[in-house]
A and B are shown apart, each in its own frame.
Chain A
Amino acid sequence: GAGVSQSPSNKVTEKGKDVELRCDPISGHTALYWYRQRLGQGLEFLIYFQGNSAPDKSGLPSDRFSAERTGESVSTLTIQRTQQEDSAVYLCASSPFNYGYTFGSGTRLTVV
Protein backbone atom coordinates (compact mmCIF):
# COMPACT_ATOMS: atom_id res chain seq x y z
CA GLY A 1 0.00 0.00 0.00
CA ALA A 2 0.89 3.66 -0.09
CA GLY A 3 1.50 4.02 3.63
CA VAL A 4 2.11 2.13 6.83
CA SER A 5 -1.05 0.36 7.92
CA GLN A 6 -1.81 -0.58 11.53
CA SER A 7 -4.65 -2.64 12.89
CA PRO A 8 -6.76 -2.43 14.85
CA SER A 9 -6.97 1.33 15.18
CA ASN A 10 -8.47 0.97 18.64
CA LYS A 11 -8.44 -1.95 21.06
CA VAL A 12 -10.07 -2.25 24.46
CA THR A 13 -9.04 -5.28 26.47
CA GLU A 14 -9.46 -6.59 29.98
CA LYS A 15 -6.53 -6.64 32.34
CA GLY A 16 -4.73 -9.96 32.12
CA LYS A 17 -5.68 -10.70 28.50
CA ASP A 18 -3.16 -11.00 25.65
CA VAL A 19 -3.31 -8.64 22.67
CA GLU A 20 -1.75 -8.64 19.21
CA LEU A 21 -1.15 -5.47 17.25
CA ARG A 22 -0.36 -5.62 13.56
CA CYS A 23 1.77 -3.43 11.30
CA ASP A 24 1.99 -3.56 7.49
CA PRO A 25 5.04 -1.52 6.39
CA ILE A 26 5.57 0.20 3.08
CA SER A 27 6.70 -2.30 0.46
CA GLY A 28 10.47 -2.28 0.06
CA HIS A 29 11.20 -0.64 3.42
CA THR A 30 13.81 -2.78 5.11
CA ALA A 31 13.51 -1.26 8.57
CA LEU A 32 10.50 -1.45 10.89
CA TYR A 33 10.08 0.09 14.32
CA TRP A 34 7.59 -0.01 17.16
CA TYR A 35 7.11 2.89 19.55
CA ARG A 36 4.81 3.49 22.49
CA GLN A 37 3.24 6.87 23.22
CA ARG A 38 1.58 7.34 26.56
CA LEU A 39 -0.99 10.13 26.93
CA GLY A 40 0.67 13.53 26.64
CA GLN A 41 4.13 12.04 26.30
CA GLY A 42 6.75 11.60 23.62
CA LEU A 43 7.49 8.35 21.85
CA GLU A 44 9.32 5.53 23.60
CA PHE A 45 11.32 3.14 21.44
CA LEU A 46 10.31 -0.50 21.82
CA ILE A 47 11.91 -2.63 19.09
CA TYR A 48 13.62 -2.28 15.70
CA PHE A 49 13.88 -4.75 12.81
CA GLN A 50 16.40 -4.24 9.99
CA GLY A 51 16.28 -6.76 7.16
CA ASN A 52 17.42 -10.19 8.28
CA SER A 53 19.54 -8.90 11.18
CA ALA A 54 18.72 -9.76 14.77
CA PRO A 55 16.19 -7.22 16.07
CA ASP A 56 17.13 -4.54 18.58
CA LYS A 57 14.84 -5.36 21.49
CA SER A 58 16.47 -2.98 23.96
CA GLY A 59 13.33 -0.87 24.43
CA LEU A 60 10.90 -3.63 25.37
CA PRO A 61 9.75 -2.77 28.91
CA SER A 62 9.22 -6.33 30.16
CA ASP A 63 9.14 -9.94 29.05
CA ARG A 64 5.39 -9.58 28.54
CA PHE A 65 6.21 -7.69 25.35
CA SER A 66 7.41 -9.44 22.20
CA ALA A 67 7.42 -8.75 18.48
CA GLU A 68 7.96 -10.69 15.31
CA ARG A 69 8.52 -9.77 11.70
CA THR A 70 8.37 -12.06 8.70
CA GLY A 71 11.16 -11.08 6.32
CA GLU A 72 10.58 -7.48 5.26
CA SER A 73 6.85 -7.79 5.66
CA VAL A 74 4.22 -7.69 8.37
CA SER A 75 5.10 -7.32 12.03
CA THR A 76 3.06 -8.18 15.10
CA LEU A 77 3.58 -6.76 18.58
CA THR A 78 2.22 -9.03 21.31
CA ILE A 79 1.53 -7.97 24.86
CA GLN A 80 0.80 -10.80 27.26
CA ARG A 81 -1.16 -10.47 30.51
CA THR A 82 -1.93 -6.82 29.84
CA GLN A 83 -1.75 -4.31 32.67
CA GLN A 84 -3.37 -0.89 32.97
CA GLU A 85 0.02 0.80 32.52
CA ASP A 86 0.16 -0.75 29.04
CA SER A 87 -2.59 1.64 27.93
CA ALA A 88 -1.08 3.83 25.23
CA VAL A 89 -0.92 4.43 21.50
CA TYR A 90 1.40 1.95 19.81
CA LEU A 91 2.97 3.40 16.68
CA CYS A 92 4.71 1.50 13.93
CA ALA A 93 7.03 3.04 11.36
CA SER A 94 9.03 1.80 8.40
CA SER A 95 12.02 3.25 6.62
CA PRO A 96 14.39 2.76 3.75
CA PHE A 97 17.79 2.79 5.41
CA ASN A 98 18.89 6.12 6.90
CA TYR A 99 16.27 8.34 5.33
CA GLY A 100 13.58 8.88 7.92
CA TYR A 101 10.46 7.13 8.93
CA THR A 102 6.93 6.86 7.67
CA PHE A 103 4.59 6.27 10.57
CA GLY A 104 1.29 4.49 10.73
CA SER A 105 -1.70 6.01 12.50
CA GLY A 106 -1.20 3.81 15.52
CA THR A 107 -3.27 1.49 17.65
CA ARG A 108 -4.83 3.00 20.75
CA LEU A 109 -4.80 0.30 23.42
CA THR A 110 -6.98 0.69 26.49
CA VAL A 111 -6.67 -1.86 29.28
CA VAL A 112 -9.66 -1.86 31.64
Chain B
Amino acid sequence: AQTVTQSQPEMSVQEAETVTLSCTYDTSENNYYLFWYKQPPSRQMILVIRQEAYKQQNATENRFSVNFQKAAKSFSLKISDSQLGDTAMYFCAFSQGGSEKLVFGKGTKLTVNP
Protein backbone atom coordinates (compact mmCIF):
# COMPACT_ATOMS: atom_id res chain seq x y z
CA ALA B 1 0.00 0.00 0.00
CA GLN B 2 1.14 3.50 -0.75
CA THR B 3 2.03 5.74 2.16
CA VAL B 4 2.84 9.43 2.43
CA THR B 5 4.93 10.84 5.27
CA GLN B 6 5.25 14.46 6.30
CA SER B 7 7.82 14.62 9.05
CA GLN B 8 7.26 18.25 10.09
CA PRO B 9 4.02 18.67 12.05
CA GLU B 10 4.57 22.43 12.39
CA MET B 11 6.79 25.06 10.81
CA SER B 12 7.05 28.82 10.92
CA VAL B 13 8.69 31.38 8.66
CA GLN B 14 9.06 35.14 8.55
CA GLU B 15 7.17 37.05 5.93
CA ALA B 16 9.13 37.40 2.65
CA GLU B 17 11.45 34.50 3.49
CA THR B 18 11.61 31.05 1.93
CA VAL B 19 10.45 27.82 3.52
CA THR B 20 10.60 24.18 2.43
CA LEU B 21 8.11 21.53 3.49
CA SER B 22 9.17 17.90 3.31
CA CYS B 23 7.28 14.90 1.98
CA THR B 24 8.34 11.33 1.32
CA TYR B 25 6.25 8.54 -0.09
CA ASP B 26 6.42 4.84 -0.63
CA THR B 27 5.20 3.05 -3.73
CA SER B 28 6.24 0.24 -6.03
CA GLU B 29 4.53 1.88 -9.00
CA ASN B 30 6.42 3.71 -11.72
CA ASN B 31 3.60 5.92 -12.96
CA TYR B 32 1.87 8.18 -10.45
CA TYR B 33 1.02 11.75 -9.52
CA LEU B 34 2.01 13.87 -6.56
CA PHE B 35 0.20 16.90 -5.19
CA TRP B 36 0.48 19.59 -2.57
CA TYR B 37 -2.76 20.92 -1.14
CA LYS B 38 -3.27 23.92 1.11
CA GLN B 39 -6.03 23.99 3.74
CA PRO B 40 -6.60 27.39 5.40
CA PRO B 41 -8.87 27.73 8.46
CA SER B 42 -11.85 27.91 6.12
CA ARG B 43 -11.10 24.15 5.60
CA GLN B 44 -11.32 24.48 1.82
CA MET B 45 -8.67 22.24 0.22
CA ILE B 46 -6.85 24.17 -2.49
CA LEU B 47 -4.53 22.55 -5.03
CA VAL B 48 -1.15 24.26 -4.87
CA ILE B 49 0.92 22.24 -7.31
CA ARG B 50 0.92 18.91 -9.18
CA GLN B 51 3.74 16.70 -10.48
CA GLU B 52 3.59 13.74 -12.84
CA ALA B 53 6.18 11.10 -11.97
CA TYR B 54 7.20 10.60 -15.59
CA LYS B 55 8.25 14.25 -15.89
CA GLN B 56 11.79 14.97 -14.76
CA GLN B 57 11.27 18.73 -14.68
CA ASN B 58 10.14 20.08 -11.33
CA ALA B 59 6.72 21.74 -11.35
CA THR B 60 6.48 25.46 -10.60
CA GLU B 61 3.50 27.69 -9.90
CA ASN B 62 4.47 31.28 -9.22
CA ARG B 63 6.04 31.37 -5.71
CA PHE B 64 5.57 27.61 -5.25
CA SER B 65 7.96 25.02 -6.60
CA VAL B 66 8.77 21.41 -5.87
CA ASN B 67 11.93 19.38 -5.61
CA PHE B 68 10.94 15.97 -6.97
CA GLN B 69 13.52 13.25 -6.35
CA LYS B 70 12.01 10.08 -7.81
CA ALA B 71 14.76 7.70 -6.76
CA ALA B 72 14.62 8.99 -3.21
CA LYS B 73 10.80 9.13 -3.28
CA SER B 74 10.91 12.68 -2.03
CA PHE B 75 8.61 15.55 -3.01
CA SER B 76 9.32 18.76 -1.10
CA LEU B 77 7.49 22.07 -1.52
CA LYS B 78 9.36 25.36 -1.54
CA ILE B 79 7.46 28.58 -0.89
CA SER B 80 9.38 31.71 -1.84
CA ASP B 81 8.63 35.24 -0.63
CA SER B 82 6.24 33.88 2.01
CA GLN B 83 3.06 35.87 2.56
CA LEU B 84 0.73 36.04 5.54
CA GLY B 85 -1.96 34.38 3.40
CA ASP B 86 0.22 31.31 3.08
CA THR B 87 -0.56 30.43 6.69
CA ALA B 88 -2.40 27.09 6.47
CA MET B 89 -2.12 23.34 6.75
CA TYR B 90 -0.25 21.84 3.83
CA PHE B 91 -0.90 18.28 2.75
CA CYS B 92 1.20 16.17 0.44
CA ALA B 93 -0.77 13.58 -1.54
CA PHE B 94 -0.14 10.67 -3.89
CA SER B 95 -2.31 9.23 -6.63
CA GLN B 96 -1.49 6.05 -8.54
CA GLY B 97 -1.56 6.39 -12.30
CA GLY B 98 -4.92 5.29 -13.66
CA SER B 99 -6.55 5.36 -10.22
CA GLU B 100 -7.82 8.57 -8.76
CA LYS B 101 -7.81 7.69 -5.09
CA LEU B 102 -5.55 10.15 -3.23
CA VAL B 103 -3.44 9.09 -0.26
CA PHE B 104 -2.64 12.00 2.04
CA GLY B 105 0.07 12.70 4.54
CA LYS B 106 -0.86 14.00 7.99
CA GLY B 107 -0.04 17.56 7.09
CA THR B 108 2.30 20.36 8.11
CA LYS B 109 0.94 23.42 9.85
CA LEU B 110 2.71 26.46 8.41
CA THR B 111 2.60 29.83 10.13
CA VAL B 112 3.92 32.94 8.38
CA ASN B 113 4.89 35.60 10.90
CA PRO B 114 4.84 39.35 10.15
Could you list which residues of chain A lie within 8 angstroms of chain B, going by C-beta atoms? Answer: 31, 33, 35, 37, 41-45, 48, 50, 56, 59, 89, 91, 93, 95, 97-98, 100-106, 108
Interface SS, A side: strand
B101 and A56 contacting across the interface, CB-CB below 8 Å: yes
How many residues does chain B have at the interface if contact means C-beta atoms less than 8 Å apart?
22
A–B Cβ pairs within 8 angstroms, 12 of them: A33-B100, A41-B106, A43-B45, A45-B101, A48-B100, A50-B100, A59-B101, A98-B98, A100-B33, A101-B102, A104-B44, A105-B44
Query: Once bound together, how far apart are the Cα atoms of A102 and B50, in whole Å?
Result: 13
On whether the beta carbons of B102 and A45 are closer than 8 Å, the reply is yes
- B35 interface contact, C-beta 8 A: yes
Q: Mark B39-81, 1 if CB is under 8 A from A, else 0.
A: 0001111110010000000000000000000000000000000
* CB nearest to A105 among chain B residues: B44
- With A43-B104, A105-B44 known, 6 other A-B pairs at CB within 8 A are A33-B102, A41-B107, A42-B106, A42-B107, A43-B102, A103-B46
- Given A100-B35, A100-B50, A42:B44 Cβ within 8 A: no
B100/A105 in contact, CB under 8 A = no
